[in-house]
Amino acid sequence: MPNDFYFDYIEYTRITTSTPDNKEETHIFEKTAVFSRKIGNYEVLGSSAIKVGFYNDSISKVTVGYSNYQLDKNLKILNIDEAINSIKSEKSLVDYDVNVLTNNNSHNQLKVKISNVYIVYVEHFYDDDSTHIQPCYRFTGTITDDKSNSTEFVSLVQAIKY
């Protein structure tokens, strides 16, 4: 296994069957050990993963996806205020459950509380021609509307300054 991978978690594939008396039973069909990647102390998001599937106590499949990398050049990155402004100006991905918030809110009426921010690397998602791993800020927190409905969010902001 490459040096920069570590055991992260187990995924379970479940199947549901019906018993003769029409009751449903759920069984674990397959377990998959997922190994994620860090470069230095930074998590790599995207297609970097090694997955090992187990069925009946035997390895059933191995899936490997990652890019080899080498330092290309040193780049300037956004400072934290510039990254937050990227979110405010809606130039960055913000993932949250829109169904929790009321529909009549404009973005200006939403309150955002940032809980954590840290640097991650993002590898292009399943792109065979990927040549770069890019640094991003990863923000997590809560969005609340004017009726006090709230939901968690995750935002990725490309950290490279252009």
pLDDT at position 146: 84
pLDDT at position 94: 83
pLDDT at position 34: 92
User: Domain segments of the chain: what residues?
Assistant: 5-65, 80-158
Assign residue 144 a region: left if phi > 0, alpha if psi is -120 to 50, beta otherwise? beta
Contact in structure between 67 and 45 (CB atoms under 8 Å): no
CB proximity list for 82: less than 8 A, separation 6 or greater: 161
pLDDT at position 32: 92
pLDDT by position in tens, the chain (length 162): 788 899 999 999 888 988 888 889 888 888 999 999 888 888 888 778 899 999 888 899 998 888 777 777 788 989 999 999 888 887 777 888 888 887 665 656 788 899 999 989 888 655 556 667 888 999 999 999 888 889 999 998 988 887
pLDDT at position 128: 56
pLDDT at position 160: 87
3-class SS letters over 41-105: CEEEECCCEEEEEEECCEEEEEEEECCCCCCCCCCCECCHHHHHHHHHCCCCEEEECCCCCCCCC
pLDDT at position 2: 82
pLDDT at position 6: 92
